[in-house]
Amino acid sequence: MMKDKEKEVTIEEEQKQVDSPDNEEPTSEVMEEGEEEKKEDEKSELDKLKNELGEAKDKYLRLYSEFENFRRRTARERLELIKGANEDLMVHLLPVLDDFERAQKAIKESEDHAIASEGFDLIYNKLGSLLEQKGLKEMEEGAGTPFNPEVHHAISKMPVEKKKMKGKIVDVIEKGYYLNDKVIRFAKVVTGE
């Protein structure tokens, strides 16, 4: 009898364990609800990602258009600056042009070449000082100066009698110029050989 009671207790305990909520197997309804929640979560996450992508594209397009506008504006400003710089130089050169016109008129009316020569010298000096004010500087290269390919352009070679003149400038055909310490025209020279 004791054994029967023990069996009954164990059967009852087993029944309790089986009926307990921890051991319940999910029904098909519970599984469907969980899957629906997962799908909704995935949809909301996908919508969130789509919104973020749309915002990123919008930011990219705005940034790209701002950059294009900036590039166009700076190109336009650069052209205006160059035109303005040329305008400033031309305004300063106009008085020199006026002086040349007056000198031509004076030469036609006068037969004294000494006065005409003096007038042209004055105009030349005026033009030189104006260009110096704008940053133009003449290269001070003469005969006997060593040849420098960074500022000189050798147009020919000439045999020389003195050995110390070999590789040096013998004659300057065309002067070179700097504009604000930058070479804008190389000096054309004849070198000794």
Beta carbons within 8 Å of 105's beta carbon, 6+ residues apart: none
Domain of 146? 137-193
CATH of the domain at 185: 2.30.22.10
Smallest CA-to-CA distance from 131 within 103, 105, 95, 102 is with 95
- Are 155 and 183 members of one domain? yes
Within 10 A of 187 (CB to CB), how many other CB atoms are there? 22
**Do 79 and 85 meet the contact criterion of CB atoms below 8 Å apart?**
no
DSSP states of 92-133: HHHHHHHHHHHHHHHHHH---HHHHHHHHHHHHHHHHHHHHH
> Does 146 map to a domain?
yes
> Does 149 map to a domain?
yes
Per-residue pLDDT of the chain (193 residues; tens, 9 = 90+): 545 555 555 556 655 555 555 544 555 555 566 777 788 888 889 999 999 999 999 999 999 999 999 999 999 999 888 877 777 788 888 888 888 888 888 888 877 777 778 888 888 899 989 889 888 898 887 777 888 888 888 898 988 888 788 888 888 888 888 988 889 889 899 888 8
- Are 99 and 153 members of one domain? no
